[in-house]
Amino acid sequence: MKYSDIDQRKTAFIFELDNVLYPEKDYLYQVYYLYANLLEYTELWDAKAMVSLMAKTYEEKGKDEVFNVLQQKFNVDEKYRANFDDMLLTAKVPLMLLLYKNMLDLLQAIVVDRKKIFIVTNGNPRQQLNKIKHTEWNGLEPYLTCYFADEVSAKPEPDVINQLLKDHQLERRNVVMIGNSEADELCAQAAGTDYFSSALFL
């Protein structure tokens, strides 16, 4: 699916961030690398083995289990959980996060057509902002307006979308939401906007 396939009467596009505009694992794996090296420095454990375990856990069990599995396998002291949680929020990752190529093309086409782009993302606002700061936007930064849903109420609740529509005097029928989860789809339905899965563009 391409920009030209979307109803040209649409004037605003709302995107989720993680796994919609860029692959979230590109951020998380860099945090895992930094964290493993911290533990290697302080406890003399094998950083490479820890990174491998954390990545495998993410793929098989999800990000919420990463520290728990690491703790179990390496007997990591509970005191290090706070370091891990803080690093997830504020890490200065060494490599910029790259947008999916098709999403970059879509964003650029929207800008050329002088339409509005919003990022409305679930998750800890500090972490989501950190990801945004470490993303290579290819000059699109002036055209992006970001809302952190958790500051209002997380999707699928439509409150943040309703606030966005009010702030920018937008009609629901002229807005498209693009996401990758049931929460995104239910939010779009509740807010009365059209919805597309990001998988259609990738």
> Quick one: 10 and 51 in the same domain?
no
Query: Which of 35, 66, 90 marks a domain boundary?
Result: 90
Judge if the upstream peptide bond of residue 156 is cis by omega within 30 degrees of 0: yes
Query: Which of 46, 68, 90 marks a domain boundary?
Result: 90
Could you write out the three-class secondary structure of the chain?
CCHHHCCCCCCEEEECCECCCECCHHHHHHHHHHHHHHHHHHHCCCHHHHHHHHHHHHHHHCHHHHHHHHHHHHCCCHHHHHHHHHHHHHCCCCCCEECCHHHHHHHHHHHHCCCEEEEEECCCHHHHHHHHHCEECCCCHHHEEEEEHHHCCCCCCCHHHHHHHHHCCCCHHHEEEEECCHHHHHHHHHHCCEEEEHHHCC
pLDDT in tens, 135-170: 999 999 999 999 999 999 999 999 999 999 999 999
In the chain, what percentage of residues exceed pLDDT 90? 98
CATH no. for residue 176?
Answer: 3.40.50.1000
Provide the domain limits for residue 160.
Answer: 3-22+99-200
- What local confidence, expressed as pLDDT, does residue 44 receive? 85
> Quick one: 71 and 126 in the same domain?
no
pLDDT in tens, 23-73: 999 999 999 999 999 999 988 889 999 999 999 999 999 999 999 999 999
> Quick one: 181 and 135 in the same domain?
yes
Query: How many domains, in total, are found in the chain?
Result: 2
Sorting pLDDT into bands at 50, 70 and 90, what band is 191? very high
> Quick one: 116 and 165 in the same domain?
yes
| pTM for the whole structure | 0.94
> Quick one: 149 and 161 in the same domain?
yes
